[in-house]
Amino acid sequence: MVSYTPMLFADAEVTDFINRMWGHPNQPMTLAVRQLVDAVLHAQNNRTSLTFGSFTQQDMGTVASQSTEYLYITSPMTDEPIYAMIRFAFTDIKLVDSETLSNEPVPLMACNGSATNIVVGGVVRAMDCSPVGSTTSTQPQFLGQTDTSSVMIINDIFGDGTKDTSENALDQAGVDWYNAHWEHMDKLLTSRGLIIGGHRPKVTVVVHTNQAAISYLQLTLILLPIFLALIVWGATFQKPMSYYQNSFLAAVCATAHVTGRASDESECREIGYMRSPPEIVVKTKDRHVSLRTPEGELVAVPGGRRVLHGGVIFEPLVLPEAWPEADGSAR
């Protein structure tokens, strides 16, 4: 979070910024965080810089550090303030591999101060040399080698570092995303460092592939309609359909013991959705039309009323006004 001269950070922005990093967002501030906020505000009023933090050993191979800096930057020529900055640093130092070297590491070149070899992929590439007096040590010393082969740079995730407001300088959505994925990124960086350093057997890779699958329930729901359709098709279309196959006349014929076979005249056939009614065909003889079954059984005769053995007689659709009864009377 940066504030350019002559502006100063608002007390509320400093409070929110520090509480979000050292405390808990949207929760009451603890006494320890309140003391840190007061220290930063005191440094801002006095136009001085301030650094505070902590180092903790999490386990035998990991050391974590957290630090906060309030930097009050002035011009070296005029000693006039240029800008003020508040920044955080979180660092985890983890021992991921240990080996016995045949030769003790030595500085890459002569250094009149504190020297550190910079290693990339297990090979010394450069050296960092800090002159005597720039550190707490007054004697030249070799600090060892640091492998910096595993690096990840993420831009525009945590916020805009050029703003002087807490909300813009630190994007909470980016912080939440990092907190949800930091373990994955930590393993990725560790694996990359081991691979580049020549320790490939220590890195295992798990590959996940997605493939289409179908459950027994889905398979049943897909095949069941096809199976039922085949049953209906077999029950409905097993015989050629006649003109009166699905008519009301066919149902009447079925309930009147018309089965299509002379031997089944006394049997009442069940008619339903899954069973076909008896077949009825149209027969013509001497310009007369009659309804019969394929077996020849007479179903209906147009014209006057007749009594036929073995069949059922239906009256014509249009009845005459008078009809002779058996006793000679009219109705």
Question: Does residue 163 sit in the same domain as residue 268?
Answer: no
Q: Coil, strand, or helix at residue 109?
A: coil
pTM higher than 0.85 for the full model?
Answer: no
Question: Is 287 inside a domain boundary?
Answer: yes
Same-domain pairing of 70 and 162: yes
Domain of residue 173: give its range: 2-95+150-202
User: Residues 66, 165: one domain?
Assistant: yes
Long-range contacts of 93-102 (CB under 8 A, 24+ apart): 93/62, 93/63, 93/64, 93/65, 94/61, 94/62, 94/63, 94/190, 95/60, 95/61, 95/62, 96/61, 96/190, 96/193, 96/194, 97/194, 97/197, 97/199, 97/202
Same domain flag for 51 and 195: yes
Closest by CA position to 86, among listed 31, 161, 154: 161
Evaluate whether residue 105 is within a structural domain.
no
**C-alpha triplet 277, 278, 282: angle, nearest 5°:** 120
- Residue 216 inside a domain? The answer is no
Q: Give the total number of structural domains in the chain.
A: 2
Per-residue pLDDT 10s for the chain (331 aa) are 999 877 788 999 999 999 988 887 777 888 999 999 999 999 998 889 999 998 999 888 889 998 999 999 888 888 888 889 999 888 888 887 777 878 888 898 888 888 899 887 778 888 988 876 555 556 778 888 887 777 777 877 888 888 888 888 888 888 889 889 988 988 888 888 888 777 788 888 888 888 888 888 888 999 999 998 888 777 666 555 555 555 666 556 555 555 555 444 444 444 444 445 556 677 777 666 676 776 766 665 544 444 444 444 444 444 445 445 545 444 4
Position 61 in a domain: yes
**Which residues 6+ apart lie within 8 Å of 144 measured at CB?**
105, 116, 117
In degrees and rounded to multiples of 5, residue 210 shows phi and psi of -105, 135
Judge contact between 8 and 46, C-beta under 8 A: no
Residues 156, 274 within the same domain: no
* Rounded CA separation 193/188 (Å): 9
Shared domain for 282 and 178, answered yes or no, is no
Q: What is the model's pLDDT at position 247? A: 61
> Could you tell me where the DSSP H helices lie in 237-297?
248-255
Q: What DSSP state is assigned to residue 65?
A: E
Task: Give pLDDT, residue 313.
Answer: 42
Same domain, 25 and 71: yes
Q: Are residues 198 and 272 in the same domain?
A: no
In a shared domain, residues 154 and 71: yes
43 and 173 assigned to the same domain: yes
Q: Are residues 193 and 312 in the same domain?
A: no
285 and 173 part of one domain: no
What's the pLDDT at 239? 54
In a domain, 255, yes or no: yes
